Amino acid sequence: MSDLKIAGKYYWHYLKRYWRGFAISVILIAFSTWCIVIAPTYLGRAVEELTQYLQQWTNPATRGQASLGSFNHTLVIYVLLYAGDAASIFISSLILARVTAYSTGTMRVGLFRKMQRMRVQYFDTHSDGDILARFTSDLDNIFNAMNQALLEILLAVAQFVGLLIVMFNQNVTMAWVTMASTPVALIVAALVMRKAGVAVNRQQDDIGRLNGYINEQITGQKILITNGLQQDSLKGFHAYNAKVRQSALSGQIWSGILNPLMQGMSLLNTAIVIFFGSWLALNGQMSTGAALALVVVFVNYAQQYYQPIMSLTSLYSMIQLAITGARRVDEVRRQPDEVNPTDGLALQGIDSGLKIDNVRFSYVPDKEILHGITIDVHPGEMVALVGPTGSGKTTVMNLLNRFYDVDSGRITFDGTDIRRFDLQALRKNVGIVLQEPQLFTGTIADNIRYGDPTARMERVIAAAKQANIHDFIVSLPAGYETEVSDEQSIFSAGQKQLMSIARTILTNPRLLILDEATSNVDTVTEANIQAAMDNVIQGRTSFVIAHRLKTILNADKIVVLKDGAIIEQGNHAQLLNENGFYAELYRNQMVFD
């Protein structure tokens, strides 16, 4: 499907509910157009009447009959027509402003709702910046285009049509004269726009490369300084900058030249109309008054004639952006939702155990990550997953609460495939502590009761105490009511992890998955986290994805993964005795006297 078609469908989806508003606007705009195109004829008539008046007045014989009555009358109509125009434009702008604001709002919330329904896979395969850009710049472009283009396009089309009708009504020859330069203007516009498209693309590429260079270098300024590379960096910059100067110049010229060219065409067209009109006035069989009126009216038309064309060309790039924006937002809209079984089973707890049964899985077709994993877990057991980066540890976690679904094999709770449970019920019973825990804007208390916003303060404090973070929180001036956000660094990396543990403790999940923090935590803080983890694991079935072995020495079962397969399984003592991969890993991480 072409972008245009996709964008068309997208707008249709969100705008069709406003059809009444559009219908009223179109009628009002048609009316205003009628006012605008008719008004100049009244001005012309006024001039004609004034000429007659002057002639009568100049002639002593007719001076007595000379009257300005009809002239005044015509002027009143002229002003009333513009008042009608202003009123109808006002009302239709009002309607369209409302439609624009509210439909963009609906699009924004729609995009967010969709985001909440989509599969995790989408977020894993698209950068945050790219998805966020759809909320910001793409919706912005859509809004801007609707805000400015909707009314302008309707007006331009209506004006153009109205103008043509009235011109041909007035004087066919002059109408053709006014239109004569149109093909030239259109060809010029098309040529310039094509040139501009190419030039601007090249310009954007070069600017992109320059910005990329600047970003990399300045972000690495510490490396530049400590290696004394500032002059080298400047040399590299000049090469990129010089390229931008060249390509941006032609981009700027080609995209900037259309407007003056069209204005020039309008000037030329007016000149042609005056020239030809006055020739017609002198050589046709017309009274002086009628001839003057003809010129006045068509000069007015000639000045108006190019306005719709000009406003459409100046809107071109904006519309282009809005089409791309709609395409990008719509792409999200068409992503598959998470699969939640109809009549999903309720999940109360895990009584007889959990089994990962010969599970195979791949993120990308034909690149299998897990090659038939089987792990049997009894209720209340702690299972540790160990293995090098890329071995599939985190993937197991992704499968347990259905961020992803298995390719083959199955995962069962008490013998029931987890895909048969209601998705929400499943996730409420599976608690996760992530390696990089996200905090949300709000108070500390809000963050701890994130999974259960109605939780009383006693429960919040109890959870914080169990997670070893209570003392720190009460040491803050505002305590539990301290406002936090993910970007603010009230918490160190380790404390953030503790917050995440507290948040999970509060929801009291049956199955717990802990993805251990890897870096940026020193070993003393780590011991603190370890204590909190021991608290939360107490009495629950749990999976711990371990990066440091120290934390999992007490696990009931340690599963060693390598390249997507289980290579060793057992408790710490058993695995040390095997003297295989695990024992080697253990020796590497620990200090021995």
Q: Which of residues 54-83 bind another protein (CB under 8 A)?
A: 54, 57-58, 68, 71-72, 75, 78-79, 82-83
SS3 473: helix
Contacting another protein within 503-532 (CB under 8 A): 503, 507, 519-527
Least distance to another protein, CB of residue 588, Å: 3
252 binds another protein (CB under 8 A): yes
184 binds another protein (CB under 8 A): no
- Options 1, 180, 249, 531; binder of another protein; rule CB under 8 A: 249
Contacting another protein within 343-372 (CB under 8 A): none
237 binds another protein (CB under 8 A): yes
Contacting another protein within 20-49 (CB under 8 A): 39, 43, 46-47
Q: Which C-beta is closer to another protein: that of 2 or that of 238?
A: 238
Least distance to another protein, CB of residue 319, Å: 19
13-21, 248-256, 349-357, 539-547 -> range binding another protein (CB under 8 A): 248-256
Q: Which C-beta is closer to another protein: that of 372 or that of 472?
A: 472
Contacting another protein within 376-405 (CB under 8 A): 388-389, 401, 403
Distance CA 542, CA 475 (A): 32
Least distance to another protein, CB of residue 1, Å: 27
12-20, 170-178, 275-283, 327-335 -> range binding another protein (CB under 8 A): 275-283
552 binds another protein (CB under 8 A): no
Tokens 């006024």: give the residue.
46
User: Of 168, 150, 139, which Cα lies nearest the Cα of 98?
Assistant: 150
Q: Which C-beta is closer to another protein: that of 2 or that of 389?
A: 389
Least distance to another protein, CB of residue 514, Å: 12
Distance CA 172, CA 149 (A): 32
Please say whether the beta carbons of 385 and 546 come within 8 A.
yes
Least distance to another protein, CB of residue 2, Å: 29
Q: Which C-beta is closer to another protein: that of 181 or that of 466?
A: 181
- Options 271, 339, 476, 478; binder of another protein; rule CB under 8 A: 271
Least distance to another protein, CB of residue 81, Å: 9
12-20, 270-278, 321-329, 473-481 -> range binding another protein (CB under 8 A): 270-278
Backbone angles phi, psi at 431, to 5 degrees: -95, 140
137 binds another protein (CB under 8 A): no
Structure tokens at 187: 């060809």
Burial class (CB in 10 A: 0-12, 13-18, 19+), 116: exposed
CA distances from 489 to 3, 268, 483 (A): 43, 64, 11
Burial class (CB in 10 A: 0-12, 13-18, 19+), 33: buried
Contacting another protein within 443-502 (CB under 8 A): 450-451, 453, 485-486, 492-494
- Options 154, 244, 559, 575; binder of another protein; rule CB under 8 A: 244
Q: Which C-beta is closer to another protein: that of 96 or that of 384?
A: 96
CA atoms within 13 A on the CB side of 593: 0
Residues in contact with another protein, counted by CB under 8 A, come to a total of 156
For residue 583, the cross-strand partners are none
7-15, 233-241, 329-337, 532-540 -> range binding another protein (CB under 8 A): 233-241
16-24, 244-252, 326-334, 557-565 -> range binding another protein (CB under 8 A): 244-252
315 binds another protein (CB under 8 A): no
Contacting another protein within 101-120 (CB under 8 A): 101-102, 104-105, 108-109, 112-113, 115-117, 120
Question: Which strand (E) or helix (H) includes residue 559?
Answer: strand 557-562
CA distances from 339 to 164, 398, 411, 418, 513 (A): 57, 15, 16, 12, 22
CA distances from 485 to 442, 444, 450, 482 (A): 7, 9, 13, 10
346's CB contacts (< 8 A; 6+ apart) are: 421, 422, 425
Helix residue spans in 220-287 (DSSP H) = 221-226, 230-256, 258-283
- Options 26, 30, 319, 576; binder of another protein; rule CB under 8 A: 576
563 binds another protein (CB under 8 A): no
Contacting another protein within 287-306 (CB under 8 A): 288, 291-292, 295-296, 299-300, 303
Least distance to another protein, CB of residue 272, Å: 7
Q: Which C-beta is closer to another protein: that of 46 or that of 498?
A: 46
SS3 372: strand
Backbone angles phi, psi at 370, to 5 degrees: -110, 125
Q: What is the DSSP string of 384-441?
A: EEE-STTSSHHHHHHHHTTSS--SEEEEEETTEEGGGB-HHHHHHHEEEE-SSPPP-S
- Alpha-carbon dihedral sign for residues 224, 227, 230, 231: negative
Least distance to another protein, CB of residue 485, Å: 7
